Amino acid sequence: MTSFVATGVRGLVERVCAGDMRALARAISLVENDSLEATDVLSGCFPHTGAALRIGVTGSPGAGKSTVVDKLAQSWRAAGKRVGVVAVDPSSAFTGGAILGDRIRMQEAIGDNGLYVRSMATRGCLGGLARATAEVSQVIEASGKDVVLIETVGVGQDEVDIVRLADVTVVVLVPGMGDDVQSIKAGIMEIADIFVINKADREGADQVEKEIRALQSLSGRNGSWVASIVKTIATTGAGVDGLLDAIEQMREWLGAEGRLQARRKSYWQERIEEMVRQALLKEARTHGLSSEQFAEHAERVASGQEDPYQLVPSLVAQVFDARGAHQ
Ligand SMILES: Nc1nc2c(ncn2[C@@H]2O[C@H](COP(=O)(O)OP(=O)(O)OP(=O)(O)O)[C@@H](O)[C@H]2O)c(=O)[nH]1
Ligand SMILES: [Mg+2]
């Protein structure tokens, strides 16, 4: 059974790496649904990852993230680079979802297999959105992409976690936010490598720039990199060249002194820890610790009938004993 699955998956992964779009869509579904074959798919793809630049694009709803991503993707395609896009929560009240939908249709129509766009459903992702996004990005990268763009609304903890997987983080702001620059989630401001002030056709772009500079002077530096600030009108493409330059500079900076490696290491340190946690929990569930049993313990602890500090070590021992007996 396992070998059958592994053989089938091997063929699928080979087709993914050869740039077969249907195979890519199938592989992504397997990963997104956390299916039985997901681990083999990811493991098969992993050796084919690492070369692409991963760019996270985040910012408040409607800031123009999809439009910026679209313009970047177009520029890179024109330069012959292969581009992957993962968009998380494109179904907010703004037009992002529709824009992406159009693009997916366009991509099918012109058969451009150098561009792949995937929308992530925010609900129903088994094991968390950050995990699913990271894994889907990896599969897309393995299909032979030079750049992977990950678009996400920068509001919740999930989104901050998603952006962590990026090598370069672009935060999109818009004029007319007033003091709201301060209210953008602090975690997102801190991890910004490049600020885009989009909708620069509106009044107040200079004010936003001033506010970012003020915040920058307060906070510490991100290594020797001072986040660059670029103004764009994404709808017309004005300023997008400046953004491309800023990304290129960041890529060069990351390339020196092992910085890219250091970033990816710190990302994987957290990620591996999370993977171990999940694997242990799964182990616990297959060795007699069902959700129902957790619920029963929770009820007893909540009503003071059971001591959680005694309970947990005994549960852990129980799992290891059960596992030992199975081996
Ligand atoms: N005036 C102006 N409008 C823009 C600009 N960039 C984007 N827009 C418009 O702003 C709206 C939202 O743009 P999107 O690119 O969908 O924004 P988003 O951040 O991806 O939105 P969500 O994914 O829904 O959070 C669209 O109607 C765009 O046409 C700009 O530079 N100037
Ligand atoms: Mg969008």
Contact 191, 163 (CB under 8 A): yes
As a whole number of angstroms, the distance between CA 227 and CA 212 comes to 10
In ligand 1, which atom is closest to the CA atom of 62?
Answer: 21
As a whole number of angstroms, the distance between CA 245 and CA 274 comes to 35
In SS3 terms, the chain reads as: CHHHHHHHHHHHHHHHHCCCHHHHHHHHHHHHCCCCCHHHHHHHHHHHCCCCEEEEEEECCCCCHHHHHHHHHHHHHHCCCCEEEEEECCCCCCCHHHHHHHHHHHHHHHCCCCEEEEEECCCCCCCCHHHHHHHHHHHHHHCCCCEEEEEEECCCHHHHHHHCCCCEEEEEECCCCCCHHHHCCHHHHHHCCEEEECCCCCCCHHHHHHHHHHHHHHCCCECCECCEEEECECCCCECHHHHHHHHHHHHHHHHHHHHHHHHHHHHHHHHHHHHHHHHHHHHHHHCCCCHHHHHHHHHHHHCCCCCHHHHHHHHHHHHHHHHHHHC
In ligand 1, which atom is closest to the CA atom of 89?
Answer: 23
Protein residue with least CA distance to atom 21, ligand 1: 62
Distance 224 CA to ligand 1 centre (A): 32
Pocket around ligand 1 at a 6 A CB cut-off:
61-67, 90, 92, 94-96, 99, 153, 198-199, 201, 233-235
Q: In this structure, what are the phi and psi dihedrals at residue 73, rounded to the nearest 5 degrees? A: -60, -45
Question: Among 74, 85, 95, which residue has the most ligand 1 atoms within 8 Å of its CB, making it the best to mutate?
Answer: 95
In ligand 1, which atom is closest to the CA atom of 233?
Answer: 31
Protein residue with least CA distance to atom 16, ligand 1: 96
Q: What is the pLDDT along the chain (327 residues), one digit of tens a residue?
A: 444 556 789 999 999 999 999 999 999 999 988 899 999 999 999 999 999 999 999 888 888 998 999 999 999 999 999 999 998 865 544 444 445 555 555 555 566 778 998 888 665 555 577 888 999 999 999 999 999 999 987 666 667 777 788 999 999 999 986 555 655 656 667 778 999 999 999 999 998 898 888 877 766 555 677 899 999 999 999 999 999 999 999 999 999 999 999 999 999 999 999 899 988 888 888 877 888 888 999 999 999 999 999 999 998 898 888 877 766
As a whole number of angstroms, the distance between CA 291 and CA 183 comes to 38
Entry pTM: 0.87
**Amino acid letter, 249:** Q
